[in-house]
Chain A
Amino acid sequence: MSPDIRQNPSPSLVRPPGIITGLSSGPKMTDAVYLEIRAFIYQLTGIYFQDSKKYLLEGRLGKRLQILGMKDFGEYLQMIRYGTGRQEEMHSFYDAITINETFFFRNEPQFEAFEKTLVPEIVAAKRPGGRSKLRVWSAASSSGEEGYTLSMIYLERLKPKFPLLDFEVVGTDISPSVVETARKGIYREYSVRNMPKLYLNKYFDCGEGRFEVHEDVRRLARFDHMNLFDQRAMRQMMGFDIIFCANVLIYFDNKSKIQVVSNLYDSLNKGGYLFIGYAESLHGISSAFKLLNFPKTVAYRKE
């Protein structure tokens, strides 16, 4: 993505050298609709896509059209402007025009704080010396990498230290298709590229570019389809010690954000922690949490 600003954009939209028209099998975007979508993005973000970036939006949003069963980009534009599913689609819309990637051991500083500080503190407060259970929620679990990373950290680092500590991670995501992927627990090389070798060898069956999570890791995690904006569903999510909710709040407007964060707050036990994305903030959204600084990350504690 590299949009450019021009005060007086030319109406003639061109492809950059090397991009050949007509080879892509996806739906085609008319110049008129491109100008409208570009204006819509500009209005939302202050960022302007230059003429030569039409192919980029066409390719990325074209996938959304296919998923939604829409015939043209005009229909899609109507939907993200005025449609009833607007709020939910904005998530995918932003994903389509920015980079969204997930992989094992992403946001390592959060996992470090989780393992070295938060869990020992929570365990000490729960039942010193007795059996207890740590419940973690991966609230935007995508295809499951974060949930399984947490399960592996439990098996490798926490269980030996706290043998009486049981563990459960619940992963939820708004997209049913990624929940299915998470349940299968089979990944490509891209997802495991950041994973320490020790974990890869110990917790995966590897073969021909295919990496399958072991059963002992999988049974600690369960994945469900859920919309964080659904009040009824949110009320079922209770008693968590730590919530990971990265890169979700950014898609909600302020009013909705306040509601979602308030629900996340209710889902946490007292003294529990919330992690959000590095490009996100709770400032002005909730004063109920206390921000705590850790090396290369921050966490929010329910006081």
Chain B
Amino acid sequence: MGKVILVVDDSATVRKFVSASLTMQGFNVIAACDGMDALEKLPSWTFDLVITDLNMPNMDGFELIRSLRGNPQYKELPIIILSSLDDSTSIQTGKGVGASSYLMKPFSLEKIQYEVSKYISWAD
């Protein structure tokens, strides 16, 4: 199936655009609309990278990352935060819970593609 990326964002349009962009690059993209949804979908796939928003209902991005990092299986999984929160507390908290990168919204798809390419390549 190739490399699989999980995109977690409560905005359907962001999910759609990020998915379209990464799919064009040859990745398989699965989307979830919040942390809880992401955790429910985990058993079906082996993910190679996660891109997550922070502000989401039910379970926010921080809690999702904490939960993933608490599982030895996901200790090394690259996790990119994609959020409109630009304050230093959020950025510090993101790094503190174990995010690999922090990208701000508004964003460009090229910036996401570049950030993803730091961790995985579709051709691997």
Contacts and interface: CB of A to CB of B under 8 A. Distances in A.
Contacts of A46: 11, 13-14, 84, 105-107
Contacts of A42: 106
Contact of B37 (A99, A283, A295): A283
Interface secondary structure of A, over-half rule: loop
B32 interface: yes
Contacts, number: 101
A14 interface: no
Interface residues of A, number: 30
A45 B105 CA distance: 10
A94 B31 contact: no
Interface in B1-33: 1, 7, 10-17, 19-21, 23-24, 28-33
A281 B32 contact: yes
B109 interface: yes
A88 B3 CA distance: 34
Contacts of A50: 108
Given A2-B109, A99-B20, A294 B15 contact: no
B110 interface: yes
Contacts of B34: 283-284
Given A293-B41, A293-B43, A296-B44, A5 B15 contact: no
Contact of B109 (A1, A249, A278, A295): A1
B71 to A, nearest CB: 16
Contacts of B40: 283, 291, 293, 298
A3 B7 contact: no
Contact of B108 (A47, A284, A295): A47
Contacts of A279: 7, 15-16, 19, 29-31
Contacts of A295: 44
A250 B44 contact: no
A217 B111 CA distance: 45
Interface string A28-70: 0000000000000010111110100000000000000000000
Nearest to A94: B16
Interface string A260-303: 00000000000000000011110110000001011111100000
9 contacts: A4-B108, A5-B108, A45-B14, A47-B14, A47-B17, A47-B107, A283-B36, A293-B44, A296-B44
Interface of B: 1, 7, 10-17, 19-21, 23-24, 28-34, 36-37, 40-41, 43-45, 57-58, 84, 105-111, 113
Given A284-B57, A297-B44, 18 more contacts: A1-B24, A2-B21, A4-B108, A45-B17, A47-B14, A50-B108, A98-B16, A99-B20, A250-B12, A250-B16, A279-B15, A279-B16, A279-B30, A281-B32, A283-B40, A293-B40, A293-B41, A298-B41
